[in-house]
Structure 1
Amino acid sequence: MTQSVLVLPGDGIGPEIVAQAKRVLEHLQQHHGLDVTLEEALVGGAAIDSTGIPLPEETLQKAKCADAVLLGAVGGPKWEALDISIRPEKALLGLRSQLELFANLRPAVLYPQLAEASSLKAELVAGLDILIIRELTGGIYFGQPRGVSEVNGEKVGVNTYVYSESEIRRIAHAGFKAAQKRNKRLCSVDKANVLEVTELWRDVVTEVGKEYPDVELSHMYVDNAAMQLIREPKQFDVIVTGNMFGDILSDAAAMLTGSIGMLPSASLDANGKGMYEPIHGSAPDIAGGGVANPLATILSVAMMLRFSLQRADLAEQVEKAVGVVLDQGYRTADIAAGNESVNTQAMGDAVIAALK
C-alpha cells in the first residue's frame, strides 16, 4: 500500500538540505521500489510570511494524515521580534503535541572517517555509538503556568517543570525496549537531588526497570551526565531523559561526532508514526549559500525508512551510501577539518551516486 510523506522544508538552510533528502527519496522511488507519495507544506517562518501563523491548520491536517513527516528547520532572526506565542519554533511544539510524538530518538554515531573532526581525542570517541531518547511532549517546555508578569513592581518569568507518572512510564518503556535491541544498558538522567519532579522520574523509571531484568539500569544527575559525555562518552549506550535535559545533552553529544550537521533524529508516537529532522537549527548565517551539510537530513530519511515506512533494507542502503561518500573523501565545510570541501548539491549528488 502506498504510504505518504509530508515534506516541510521550513526556514534558513531547511529548503537546501531537504531538497537533497527529497532527491534521495525520489531516487528510492524510481530505482528501489519505495512506494510513497511526497507532498510539501509550509511551516515556521515561511508559514508566518504566507499565513501569519507558524503552523497553519492545512499543514497540521496534512501532517496528521501522512505516514511520516520530514522537516528541515524553523526559525531565524527575521522572526525573533515576534511575540513568543507566534514565533516559528511554536510550529515544532505544535506538531509534537498534536501528533503525540512523545519519544525523540537521537543517535550520536561517529563515522570513523570523521574522527579527526571531533573536538575530542580520537581514542575517546572512536567507535562512539550512543542513543539519546528524549521525552518530547511534556516537561518544562509544555508545563503550565508559564509566562512573564509583573509582581511587586518588577517583571517575573515563570515556567513549570511538570511530568505525570504515565508520561514518565511511557518514555521509560521506550528506553528499555531500545536498550534491549542494543547493548542492554540504560542510563536515566535526572536532577533528583534538587527537583521533586525528577525524583518522581527516578522512582518511576526504577519501577519500570523491574519489567526488564535483562537491561542494566543506572541513574545519573544531569550535570554529571554532561561532564561524563565529554570525559568518557563511550560509557553510555542508551540515555533516557526529560525534554529539556535531552535537548541539551543531545546537542553536546552531537559535537562528539564531529559536527551537529551529521546527526538525524526521529520523533515517534505510540504506533510508529514519526517526524524526522536533523537536530541542527536553521543556521541563518549560512542560509542560501549552498554550503550546508545535508547528511543529517539524509540520515533522517534513513530513520524514517526504518521506523515509519518499514523499509529497513532501504535504510541500511542509505546509511551505507553515506559511509561510502565519506570514504571517498567528500566533506562539507563543517566536517572538512581544514581540507577541501564540497557544497550541499555535490554532497547530495555523491550520496545518490553511491546508492546507484
Structure 2
Amino acid sequence: MPRIVTLPGDGIGPEICAPAVAILQRFVPDLEVEEHVFGGASIDAHGTALTDDTLAACRGADAVLLAAVGGPKWDTTDPDAPRPEQGLLGLRKALGLYANLRPVRPLPALYDASPLRRERIEGTDLLVVRELTGGIYFGEKTRTADSASDLCLYTVAEVERIARTAFLAARGRRNKVSSVDKANVLETSRQWREVVHRIHAQEFPDVELEDVLVDNAAMQLVARPSDFDVIVTENLFGDILSDEAAMITGSIGMLPSASLGDDAGPGLFEPVHGSAPDIAGTGVANPLAMFLSAAMLLRHGLAMDNEAAALESAVDRALDAGLRTPDLGGSAGTAEATDAVLAHL
C-alpha cells in the first residue's frame, strides 16, 4: 500500500493540499495518507518548524507532499528565533534531497496571461535543475554588532551529482544543458564550471553544454526563454531564476516542483509559490500548481507515469476550456478549479 506524508503548512497551504490529496486518491484508492503540522503551524504548536516525529514520518513514506510555509506572523530578524523556512531547509537536508526540478512550460491557453509577449514565450519548455543542499543557504553564518557573513561552500561531489542529474534530464528532452554560474567573480563558481565540464566530457559528451553567467541568464530568461532546455545552477541562483522563470507562465501559481535525492529515500513535492497569507481563507487560491506537484509525485514518487500524464492533461484541458483563477485574470475559486480538473480526469 503506497504511503505519503502531507504537510499542509501555512496560509493557503491547507486549502490547496486537501483537494490535491482527494485527486491523488482518485488514482490510488488504497493510498495511505498521514498529515503532520509543519512550518509556522509547527512553530505555534511545538516551538520548532520541523519536529522529530514529522521527520521520522517523512523518512518512512514513499513520498512527501508539501503545500506552503511561512508568513509575516513568523518574520523576525532575531537569529535565534525559529522560522518556518528552517523546517523546509532541514527536511531537504535530512532527506538528502539535493536536486530540485522545476519545469516551466507556459500553456497556449495562458500565453496572454504572461507579462511577456506571446511571440516571446511561444515554444518555451524548460527545466530548472537547482542544487538544493549546499551553497550559501547552508554555510556557516556569523553575526556581530558590526558585521554579518554567510559562507558559500560547495564540494566537488555535490557539483558532480547535480551535474549528472541535469545531463540525464537533458537526454530525455532536447539534449542541451545551460550551466549558470558567476565564474568571473566567485571561486565556488569557477570550481562549479570546471567540475560540470569534466562530467560533461567524461560521461555526457553527446549533450550540448553552454556556460551562462547568472546575470546574463536572468536577462536571457526574459529575452529568449524558448532557447533554454535544461538550466542547472547552484542553490541561491536557482532559487531566484526559477521564480523569475515562473512568471513566463503568467502566474507563479502554475509551477510545480520535485525535490529528489538518491533512489533509497522519498522525494518532496511542492508548488513553487508561497503561502499567500493575504488570501488565506478566502477560497480564491489557485490549486493548479499543487495539482501539478501531485502529478510529479505520481511520476517520480510512485512510478505512475500514465496517471501523472492524465492529471497534467486534465489541468491543460480545464484551462483550454476557460478555467481562470484570479491570478490568471479570472474569477474561479479553489473549489471551482478543483471541480474543473476533476471533470477532465
TM-score in same-fold range (> 0.5) = yes
Number of residue equivalences: 342
> What are the residue-to-residue correspondences of 1:91-170 with 2, within 5 Å?
91-144=87-140, 146-150=141-145, 155-170=146-161
Aligned partner letter, 2:26 = H
Q: Which residue of 1 aligns with 2:311?
A: 318
Cα deviation code 1:307-333 (max 9, x no counterpart):
110000100000000011101111100
Task: Provide the secondary structure at the position in 2 that maps to 1:9.
Answer: strand
Give, in whole Å, the separation in 1 of the partners of 2:332 and 2:291: 16
Cα deviation code 1:95-147 (max 9, x no counterpart):
00000000000001101100000000101111211100000000000012x03
Give, in whole Å, the separation in 2 of the partners of 1:20 and 1:126: 31
Task: Provide the secondary structure at the position in 2 that maps to 1:138.
Answer: coil
Cα deviation code 1:196-221 (max 9, x no counterpart):
01100000000000111110000010
What root-mean-square deviation, in Å, do the aligned CA atoms of Structure 1 and Structure 2 show? Answer: 1.1
Q: CA deviation at 1:29?
A: 2.6
Aligned CA distance change for structure 1 residues 82 and 157 (closer, same or farther; 3 Å): closer
Question: Do 2:124 and 2:227's aligned partners in 1 also have CA atoms closer than 8 Å?
Answer: no
Instruction: Report whether the alignment pairs 1:226 with 2:222.
Output: no
Q: Which residue of 2 aligns with 1:39?
A: 34
Q: Which residue of 2 aligns with 1:216?
A: 208
Instruction: Report whether the alignment pairs 1:24 with 2:23.
Output: yes
> What are the residue-to-residue correspondences of 1:189-200 with 2, within 5 Å?
189-200=180-191
Give, in whole Å, the separation in 1 of the partners of 2:103 and 2:49: 28
Aligned partner letter, 1:74 = V
Q: Which moved more, 1:302-311 or 1:340-349?
A: 340-349
Task: Provide the secondary structure at the position in 2 that maps to 1:217.
Answer: strand
Give the alignment's TM-score, normalised by structure 2.
0.97
Task: Provide the secondary structure at the position in 2 that maps to 1:203.
Answer: helix
Aligned partner letter, 1:323 = D
Aligned partner letter, 1:89 = E
Question: Do 1:119 and 1:258's aligned partners in 2 also have CA atoms closer than 8 Å?
Answer: yes
Instruction: Report whether the alignment pairs 1:178 with 2:185.
Output: no
> What are the residue-to-residue correspondences of 1:269-308 with 2, within 5 Å?
269-271=261-263, 273-308=266-301
Give the alignment's TM-score, normalised by structure 1.
0.94
Task: Provide the secondary structure at the position in 2 that maps to 1:176.
Answer: helix
> What are the residue-to-residue correspondences of 1:234-249 with 2, within 5 Å?
234-249=226-241
Task: Provide the secondary structure at the position in 2 that maps to 1:101.
Answer: coil
Question: Do 2:121 and 2:248's aligned partners in 1 also have CA atoms closer than 8 Å?
Answer: yes
Cα deviation code 1:164-221 (max 9, x no counterpart):
0000001000000000000000000000000001100000000000111110000010
Give, in whole Å, the separation in 2 of the partners of 1:17 and 1:354: 18
Give, in whole Å, the separation in 2 of the partners of 1:6 and 1:186: 33
Task: Provide the secondary structure at the position in 1 that maps to 2:100.
Answer: strand
Instruction: Report whether the alignment pairs 1:344 with 2:334.
Output: yes
Give, in whole Å, the separation in 2 of the partners of 1:311 and 1:82: 43
Give, in whole Å, the separation in 1 of the partners of 2:273 and 2:194: 32
Task: Provide the secondary structure at the position in 2 that maps to 1:220.
Answer: strand
Aligned CA distance change for structure 1 residues 41 and 264 (closer, same or farther; 3 Å): same
Give, in whole Å, the separation in 1 of the partners of 2:20 and 2:124: 25
Q: CA deviation at 1:82?
A: 7.1
Gaps of 5+ in 1: none
Task: Provide the secondary structure at the position in 1 that maps to 2:344.
Answer: helix
Kindly, what percent of the aligned residue pairs are identical?
54
Task: Provide the secondary structure at the position in 1 that maps to 2:6.
Answer: strand
Q: CA deviation at 1:84?
A: 4.1
Q: Which moved more, 1:223-232 or 1:14-23?
A: 14-23
Question: Do 1:27 and 1:352's aligned partners in 2 also have CA atoms closer than 8 Å?
Answer: no
Question: Do 2:59 and 2:266's aligned partners in 1 also have CA atoms closer than 8 Å?
Answer: no
Q: CA deviation at 1:241?
A: 0.2
Aligned partner letter, 1:106 = R
Q: CA deviation at 1:345?
A: 1.0
Give, in whole Å, the separation in 2 of the partners of 1:326 and 1:354: 10
Aligned partner letter, 2:123 = G
Aligned partner letter, 2:239 = D
Gaps of 5+ in 2: none
Task: Provide the secondary structure at the position in 1 that maps to 2:144.
Answer: strand
Task: Provide the secondary structure at the position in 2 that maps to 1:140.
Answer: coil
Q: Which residue of 1 aligns with 2:328?
A: 335
Aligned CA distance change for structure 1 residues 41 and 226 (closer, same or farther; 3 Å): same
Cα deviation code 1:245-270 (max 9, x no counterpart):
00000000000011000000000011
